[in-house]
Structure 1
Amino acid sequence: MKIKVLVVDDEWNMRNLLRIYLMKEGFEVKEAATGHEALVLAMQHSFDVILLDVMMPDTDGWQVCKKIREHSQVPILMLTARSETKDKVHGLGIGADDYLTKPFESEELIARVYSLIRRYTISKMNAPPEVKLHYPELSIHPEGREVLIRNQPVDFTQKEFDLLLTLAQNNHRAYSREELVERLWEYDYHGESRVIDTHVKNIREKAHKAGLSYNPVQTVWGIGYKFHQAGEQHDS
């Protein structure tokens, strides 16, 4: 089966260039010129990866990424002419999986696409048998990638869920930001480790909004973060 890619960019020349690169690899390519069109296609079709431009006139790529993450964990590679670290951190913080700055070489683009697809596929195939984690007011179901707070499901992005699960499964250990980046991006992301702070902030805000009476992620000063231990129980 062909790898299916959605290309989102308001510039025809860029979409055409990306289509040429991708079709040379035998990929099946669909295109969107606006954020709204991208969201419609993402709802109508199943894609293996999405290449998403940041700067678009109607709905920017960050907004599109956030909307897609509400219903899908498809790998998203952000494309932008902006190289500032804060922009990369923001994109990764809202659920993007990787970030490529324009201009770029075709070889790097294709390598990143394959890397994202490979990581996503392996993570699904090698998922360990589910061991549900139960805490007061909070349950984490790894296999279903579900978090329940006060018995109600709470939506987390893929990276937010992975971060929370990593800390919860190793709740006696404190992790540095760099260790968490390595675990979440599997050494493929060499950017600013402060992106972890963004994910932690989002987890805390969502947990608080959902009614959790305690903070599930504890700051360990001078080190990083650990899970807030609260009467852990397991069942298979």
Structure 2
Amino acid sequence: MNETATVLVADDDSDIARLMRDYLEADGHTVLIANDGRATVETLEQHPVDCVLLDVMMPNLSGFDVLRRIRETTDVPVLMLSALGGDSEKLRGLGLGADDYIVKSASPSEVVARVRAVLRRAGQARPAATAAAVLDYGRLVIDIGAHEVTVGGVPTPFTAREFELLEHLARHPRQILTRDQLFERFWGEFGDRHSLTVHISRLREKIEEDPAHPRYIVTVRGVGYRFEGEPRR
């Protein structure tokens, strides 16, 4: 039995919104509906939610604009739902901090399964109590307990998924982690394969002096990634 979650369905197509509400409620969730971008922002300001199913093409702020606003204040899981299935739209959504990108041709049951998966991952995203409190790589310092990262002494904001991915890489220095291993750990059975590439790129932009020639997160061609360096004791 899944824990009940509150899911905000943001879609200007009332038929789709009602259909998703019916399927999500049948899965045990409480559902809120917003029919345009501004209503979505207002609903999020007024109600705590556990997940947002966000249409890209909406009036009064697009889904991309709404996602930017969401990521200014919260790491709530967001799944983009769009009739646009091109790589550029997917990369844009994932690059702005979406947890998943779903094309509207997907069946309602698949959408519900992907909502369930992202909620499960969000619930599991907690550092172990016995984990090292701080990973100090000199210029890069990851404070596990405080959920903070400083780069060159400057606090740097990370989404929850970015922080979890960086922590996992940093806990396995000099160890090759394959793309399949990382995708399965952080996205599970569902999700877009572009997600890992986009998140690695975002990490490099935040922690590397030269993202095009990374010092910390190195690509092992054809295999995956390796975190370079050893943490200070």
> What TM-score do you get using the length of structure 1 for normalisation?
0.81
- Verify the 8 A CA contact 1:127 1:143 in the aligned structure 2: no
1:159 aligns with 2:161: yes
State the distance in 2 between where 1:84 and 1:20 align.
28
Q: Which residue number in structure 1 is paired with residue 69 of structure 2?
A: 67
Alignment CA distance shift 1:92-1:81 (3 Å): same
Alignment CA distance shift 1:80-1:166 (3 Å): same
State the distance in 2 between where 1:111 and 1:196 align.
20
- Verify the 8 A CA contact 1:130 1:141 in the aligned structure 2: no
Q: Which residue number in structure 2 is paired with residue 173 of structure 1?
A: 175
1:54 aligns with 2:53: no
| Amino acid in the other structure paired with 2:84 | R
CA deviation vs aligned residue, 1:144-188 (integer Å, no higher than 9, x gap): 322122333211223322221121110111223333222221333
**Structure 1 stretch displaced more, 126-135 or 51-60:** 126-135
**How far does residue 2 in structure 1 lie from its aligned partner after superposition?**
4.6
- Verify the 8 A CA contact 2:10 2:33 in the aligned structure 1: yes
**Structure 1 stretch displaced more, 42-51 or 164-173:** 42-51
Q: Which residue number in structure 2 is paired with residue 202 of structure 1?
A: 202
State the distance in 1 between where 2:29 and 2:227 align.
41
**How far does residue 200 in structure 1 lie from its aligned partner after superposition?**
2.3
State the distance in 2 between where 1:152 and 1:74 align.
25
**How far does residue 204 in structure 1 lie from its aligned partner after superposition?**
2.2
- Verify the 8 A CA contact 1:7 1:51 in the aligned structure 2: yes
| Amino acid in the other structure paired with 2:231 | E
Q: Which residue number in structure 2 is paired with residue 127 of structure 1?
A: 128
- Verify the 8 A CA contact 2:7 2:49 in the aligned structure 1: yes
State the distance in 1 between where 2:20 and 2:197 align.
33
1:226 aligns with 2:226: yes
Q: Which residue number in structure 2 is paired with residue 96 of structure 1?
A: 98
**What is the aligned residue count?**
226
State the distance in 2 between where 1:184 and 1:221 align.
21
Q: Which residue number in structure 2 is paired with residue 184 of structure 1?
A: 186
- Verify the 8 A CA contact 1:49 1:113 in the aligned structure 2: yes
| Amino acid in the other structure paired with 1:216 | Y
Gaps of 5+ in 1: none
% identity of equivalent residues: 36
Q: Which residue number in structure 1 is paired with residue 152 of structure 2?
A: 150
